[in-house]
Amino acid sequence: MASNGYRNGAHRGSSSMKLDRQLPPANLKSSSFKSRVLPSQSPGSALRRSSPASFAAKGNDGVPGRVRVAVRLRPRNVEELAADADFADCVELLPELKRLKLRKNNWDSDTYEFDEVLTEFASQKRVYEVVAKPVVESVLDGYNGTVMAYGQTGTGKTFTLGRLGEEDTSDRGIMVRSMEDIFADISPETDSVSVSYLQLYMETIQDLLDPANDNIPIVEDPKTGDVSVPGATIVEIRDQQSFMELLRIGEAHRIAANTKLNTESSRSHAILMVHVKRSVMGREDIISSENGDPPHLAKPFKPLVRKSKLVVVDLAGSERVHKSGSEGHMLEEAKSINLSLSALGKCINALAENSPHVPVRDSKLTRLLKDSFGGTARTSLIVTIGPSPRHRGETASTILFGQRAMKVENMLRIKEEFDYKSLSRRLEVQLDKLIAENERQQKAFEDEVERINVEAQNRVSEVETNFADALEKERLKCQMDYMESVKQLEEKLVFNQQKHDHDGFTDEKCILQVPRFSVSEEVVEIRKLLENETNLRKVAEEEVKNLRSQLGQHPPLAAGGDAEMLKLRKILEDETRQKKKLEEEIIILRSQLFQLSFEADQMKMCLDRGGTGNAFAGLDSSMSPVRHSQLKDSGNGQKASIATLFEQVGLQKILALLESEDANVRIHAVKVVANLAAEEANQKKIVEAGGLSSLLMLLRSFEDETVRRVAAGAIANLAMNEANQELIMTQGGISLLSMTAADAEDPQTLRMVAGAIANLCGNDKLQMKLRTEGGIKALLGIVRCGHPDVLSQVARGIANFAKCESRCSTQGTKSGRSLLIDDGALPWIVQNANSEAPPIRRHIELALCHLAQHEVNARDMISGGALWELVRISHDCSREDIKSLARRTLSSSPAFRSEMRRLRMEF
């Protein structure tokens, strides 16, 4: 008996050969068989997840798809080498031309052309990729598919289809490899795969997974014409290991026998049915308005279920009784096999010749394969032949079978169903979430209303109490004042009465005894007194002059003069200190005056705009770099005030006050410096005079929150100048800002610090040093505040940093992934990419686009969820420049395009 090396079991004898033993993997080339099926797919690549339209239209009629046929030559075995040693092979392959020559004799041959011609050295992987892989891809896209092997017994059909490859993985057959691709593409959460394994033996369908289940009927749907075997065992599988176990069980129950042509000849047709159920989302049609306006409303995505079926058929080999030596029961098996194959050949002939009648009911095999030939499935057929001239008749018959099958054309259709159950479950979950959220909001609203009512009642009670107390105090005060006034009036009345009585008694005596003085005499007397005083003053001045002249003429006394000089010098020093103190007080008073003027201007501007905010936010708010424009627009009065203070007092004196021991002096001085730093014209003078060092010293040495807040605002204003940024970094400014950010809790202070760091993030040269000294970590730590203004400054800093990184990467001065991603900024960026605050959202969207411009960041952004935000930005961003940047980035990144194809996302 000739041993066959193609059986699924172990090889027997030294003559067994592997089909891929002499062909190195590097020699695999793209075949025309595959390229005709899927021009855009190259062999060896991963399964392509494309839209269903790549295979067939979505209409009810489908599109034509011809049966693809490949021929595979089995190498000679030991018996053939011994028996036909003097004879050449009857088959000559021309794989580069996709042709096969069948020799009639030494000078004459027939030539046949197939979709693919596979030599005896073709590997199992190449056979799968050119024959079965396009069918598997179609099944994953929602179409039915069939892969079938036909040929003489012993030519390698079972080896090609059902080889398990447990000893050598390169020997894996089409069944195993197709399931590997299916499991690699489906989602376990939403998709399912189930398997049935049958055999057709003696015109009886038997279940290989449950041998007791035999004589299974075939059922045909009268509406759709679909053929099914509902009585077969269907096992849902989740992984490749369970599938391999099912194949081993089925192969153990399959009927095989030893014949002269094959030691393990299959005596039944094996049929593997793989049912794939996939959930997809499809958008419904857009609703147009009744008056013909452009569409304005699109229905939401609807869930669809695609049910497809992959059928792998390992036909029993055709044989001639006198060659196989079959007799008895094996003879009956051979007759049954040949009859079913003959019925299949008749059906294919009828389909190839467009006959009005196709005898599909002549055999159960043709009924099972009704959808594969002339139906709606994509079908690939591989015919296997041997090289021996002793079997030239059987080889010719197999080749003619494949030639006729190439003329059969199927109409491919997708089977989609609306997934009502999935949609219902999803809507129920959403409804439950909305109900729970509504209950939470209702409870929170009621609690808030209750809190406001209680607070209002407390305030009303407090106001009423205060008003009653104040009213009582005012009443008592008025009563006391009234009683005091009455008492004083009574005393005056008594005094006037007594005076009146006394004056009336003495008037006549005064008139008679005292001479009357006229008013003019009194005036003359006053003038005389004034002249005397004037003369006395002149005399005193003359005496002073004489004394000074005498003092200049006489030399000073030795001992007494020194004491007098020391006394005078001490008095002079006291006067100098007093003068300096007065000058400081004058500066403080002037700064307070200018501060009050500025607050009055701010109040006036707020009232003119009709704003309801606090007009007396004061100088602290003006120090923020984001308020710099407001400071410029606050009016000519404020600029004149600052300029006047700058000219009258001098910058050095103002900076000297930063080191004063008086806290109020320091606070007013740092506010003045911050106001001056808001003007670009003053920044260079402040830095040259040592103002930057003084401000950094305040951050380092003072714990007063107001001083730190205003100093950080002044540093933020200075950091807007690129020349000052390097000085800030050189003098340890970023470390001080980081320490302040870690210690501060006041939102205004954190806003100033975040603004300063954000300005430094915009310098390409400082990025590495900024990151090394903890600037990025400090910026991310500030988000704990949660205030929108603070988060806006943080987002601005991240956007500046990402933009500089993108520019450096483009110029080639930086490589590797983003420092922002290394420092853990990506989760916060993704979380706030769709923030309700427009400034935050705008900066974060810009940062995402810059990060995504470089492929090295793509993997981290995909795993971190940034891809979804990029797609949203490309659709919904309010700024066209950011939207177009996101689109260009998505279209230019291979990693993003691959992930979007995998997730079926569009932009």
Tokens of 698: 């305040």
CA atoms within 13 A on the CB side of 798: 38
Q: Is 156 annotated as a binding residue?
A: yes
- What value, to the nearest 5°, has the Cα angle with vertex 827 and ends 627 and 792? 5
Contacting residues for 195 by C-beta, under 8 A, at least 6 apart: 234, 235, 237, 243, 246, 272, 273, 274, 275
Tokens of 565: 């000089």
Beta bridge partners of 309: 275
Residues in the chain: 907
**Does residue 192 sit in helix, strand or coil?**
strand
Q: Is 379 annotated as a binding residue?
A: no
Q: Is 154 annotated as a binding residue?
A: yes
Q: Is 581 annotated as a binding residue?
A: no
Cα 797 to Cα 278: distance, rounded to the nearest angstrom:
45
Exposed, middle or buried by CB within 10 Å (0-12, 13-18, 19+), for 334? buried
Tokens of 308: 């497809």
Are 186 and 278 in contact by the 8 Å Cβ rule? The answer is yes
Cα 789 to Cα 753: distance, rounded to the nearest angstrom:
12
Q: Is 153 annotated as a binding residue?
A: yes
Cα 124 to Cα 503: distance, rounded to the nearest angstrom:
146
Q: Is 158 annotated as a binding residue?
A: yes
Residue with tokens 């806290």: 663
Cα-Cα-Cα-Cα dihedral of 385, 386, 389, 393, to 10°?
Answer: -30
Contacting residues for 123 by C-beta, under 8 A, at least 6 apart: 19, 20, 23, 25, 28, 170
Closest CA to 899 of 864, 859, 872: 859
CA atoms within 13 A on the CB side of 872: 14
Question: What is the DSSP track for 513-541?
Answer: HSPP--HHHHHHHHHHHHHHHHHHHHHHH
Tokens of 545: 């002059």
- Phi, psi at 786, each rounded to 5°: 80, -5
- What value, to the nearest 5°, has the Cα angle with vertex 843 and ends 837 and 844? 85
Q: Is 730 annotated as a binding residue?
A: no
Cα-Cα-Cα-Cα dihedral of 658, 661, 662, 668, to 10°?
Answer: 10
Q: Is 570 annotated as a binding residue?
A: no
- Phi, psi at 871, each rounded to 5°: -65, -40
Are 77 and 262 in contact by the 8 Å Cβ rule? The answer is no
Residue with tokens 């008996």: 1
Q: Position 823: which residue type?
A: D
In the annotated binding site, the residues are 151-158
Residues at the binding site for ATP are 151-158
